[in-house]
Structure 1
Amino acid sequence: MDLGLAGKHALITGSTAGIGYAIARGLAAEGASVVITGRSQAGVDDALRRLKEAVPEAKATGIAEDCATAAGAQAVFAKLPAVDILVNNLGIYDRKPAFEIDDAEWQRFFEVNVMSGVRFTRHYAPGMAQRGWGRILFVSSESALNIPREMIHYGMSKTAQLSISRGFAMELAGTGVTVNALLPGPTHTETTDRMRAERAKTAGKTVAELEAEFIRDFRPTSLVRRFTSADEVAAMGVYLCSEMASATSGAAVRVDGGVVNQIM
């Protein structure tokens, strides 16, 4: 199936690893020119090396800026004035008991997970609308609907992304620009795998045991009964960025292994 991505230009924020990197690699494999972003030049260079090893024909470049800040976003805009596809993947998460989350931490999660996507969408969407084609994807989470007790500040930020993506989709109605949210569930990424390995070592357990306990105790509604891979999530993300997804806008599309216990 030709996804119609050849010749399109895509920007993926926070894409040196994990789901963002997997989406960038998937878009590149479909013929899109991709721009990877990360906070350090070394991280960006390493991601580009891995991407070009995986997809030798890839058309890929990178920008080293902190996309979580207004200044970093402006620096990216100066280097890359326009794109056809925007993937707002940048995000942070951390487990913390609810009553230990102070004001600064609430504000940090909102600034990074919410405002970064607002800034990038606000800059790139008008140009997409003028050209009559565009794709904007917010990488949210099943935690937007299934608020995690262990990190409610993260859940708050992901719920906000659903409102924002739907609102921008409404604003862009009839322009040829679609805006959607992608909702992964528990997913294997470099960062989360490292964190689980550290927790398993501290607890004197194997990673497999820790993951099984997490699914049992924290995500018991999971239908696949396992963590998904970043590539499984990226496959849906790439589709939503494609020409084939032209009739899907304003949607919250789950790739959560069935964690959210609802039919819509």
Structure 2
Amino acid sequence: MNISLHGKRAIVSGSTAGIGLAIAFGLAESGAEVVLNGRSKARVDAAVKQLRGKFPGVKVSGVVADLGTAEGAEKLFAKVPQADILVNNLGIFEPKGFFEISDEEWRNFFEVNVMSAVRLSRHYAPGMAERGWGRVLFLSSESAVQIPVEMVHYGTTKTALLAVSRGLAETLAGTGVTVNAVLPGPTRSEGVGEFFQKMAKEQGLSSDKMEANFIAEHRPTSLIKRLATVEEVASMVVYLASCQASATTGAALRVDGGVVRSIV
């Protein structure tokens, strides 16, 4: 399968590292113009430099904005008014017991993980519909269907994204715009890697042993018995952004290594 996204502009929120950066690489490799995003100018500039170095023939730009706020979203809209592909990747997570999660933390998780995607989709999807082609993608999680007891607030926001994704797909029926959610399982992203390194140090274990212990104890239903790579998740996103995926919409597609014990 030869995926070509030449002539398409893609925005990937939260894309200076991890899954977001891997998605940006995948889209750029397929020929799309890519707009990167992050809160730090240094990190955005570094990510832009990486992509330009790897794909010199592809147009790459970056927007420094905190998309977890309405003001940050407006900043992006002013710099990039239209897009053909929107990847709502921005998200935060933090292991924390339910009874320790404050109101402020609940609100912050919803602003960053849910409202960032709502605002961006609300702005960019109508233009896609007017042009008769577009792709809106939401990065949810297997935690959306198996709420982790150590991160109830995180899992809840990822469940909300599934509802938003399906609802928007229904709203855009027949327009040529597809809307889908991708559900990664435990993935070796920058944030997760740092989390495991911290825990490994505290427990006097190697990072590999810490990872193996996590899978065995917290995700024992994993069929691949390891963390996924960011590239494995990105490959699904790139496919869904392609013309080849034109009959896939309103769906929630898992890249979870079989963690969710379901045949559908």
- The 1-side partners of 2:54 and 2:95 are apart by 33
Amino acid at match of 2:104: A
Is 1:119–2:98 an aligned residue pair?
Answer: no
Give 3-state SS (helix, strand or coil) of 1:61's partner: strand
Is 1:20–2:20 an aligned residue pair?
Answer: yes
Aligned residues: 264
- The 2-side partners of 1:6 and 1:58 are apart by 9
Q: CA deviation at 1:130?
A: 0.3
Give 3-state SS (helix, strand or coil) of 2:192's partner: helix
Amino acid at match of 2:24: A
Q: CA deviation at 1:57?
A: 2.4
Amino acid at match of 1:120: L
Give 3-state SS (helix, strand or coil) of 1:228's partner: coil
Amino acid at match of 2:33: S
- The 1-side partners of 2:54 and 2:156 are apart by 35
**Contact residue 4 and residue 244 of structure 1 kept, 8 A:** no
Measured against aligned partners, the alpha-carbon deviations of 1:42-84 in whole angstroms (never above 9, x if no partner) come to 1100001112223232321100111110000001001111000
Matched residue, 1:242: 242
Q: CA deviation at 1:257?
A: 0.3
Give 3-state SS (helix, strand or coil) of 1:137's partner: strand
Matched residue, 1:87: 87
- The 2-side partners of 1:147 and 1:117 are apart by 20
Measured against aligned partners, the alpha-carbon deviations of 1:21-44 in whole angstroms (never above 9, x if no partner) come to 101110000000000000011110
Matched residue, 1:102: 102
Matched residue, 1:50: 50
For structure 1, the 5+ residue unaligned runs are: none
Amino acid at match of 2:118: V
For structure 2, the 5+ residue unaligned runs are: none
- The 2-side partners of 1:2 and 1:132 are apart by 22
- The 2-side partners of 1:58 and 1:232 are apart by 22
Q: Any residues of structure 2 matched to 1:30-179 within 5 Å, and which?
A: 30-179=30-179
Identical amino acids, percent of aligned pairs: 59
TM-score of the superposition, structure 2-length normalised? 0.98
Give 3-state SS (helix, strand or coil) of 1:135's partner: strand
- The 1-side partners of 2:260 and 2:122 are apart by 30
Q: CA deviation at 1:10?
A: 0.4
Q: CA deviation at 1:170?
A: 0.2
**Contact residue 5 and residue 31 of structure 1 kept, 8 A:** yes
Matched residue, 2:4: 4
Give 3-state SS (helix, strand or coil) of 1:138's partner: strand
- The 2-side partners of 1:79 and 1:48 are apart by 16
Matched residue, 1:205: 205
- The 2-side partners of 1:261 and 1:54 are apart by 38
- The 2-side partners of 1:193 and 1:37 are apart by 21
Q: CA deviation at 1:2?
A: 2.5
Measured against aligned partners, the alpha-carbon deviations of 1:79-113 in whole angstroms (never above 9, x if no partner) come to 11100000000000000011111111111111110
Once superposed, what is the RMSD of the aligned Cα atoms?
0.8
- The 2-side partners of 1:31 and 1:204 are apart by 45
Runs of 4+ displaced beyond 4 Å: none
Measured against aligned partners, the alpha-carbon deviations of 1:122-162 in whole angstroms (never above 9, x if no partner) come to 00000000000000000010000111111000000000000
TM-score of the superposition, structure 1-length normalised? 0.98
Matched residue, 1:226: 226
- The 2-side partners of 1:168 and 1:190 are apart by 30
Q: CA deviation at 1:194?
A: 1.5
Amino acid at match of 1:128: M
Moved more, 10-19 or 190-199: 190-199
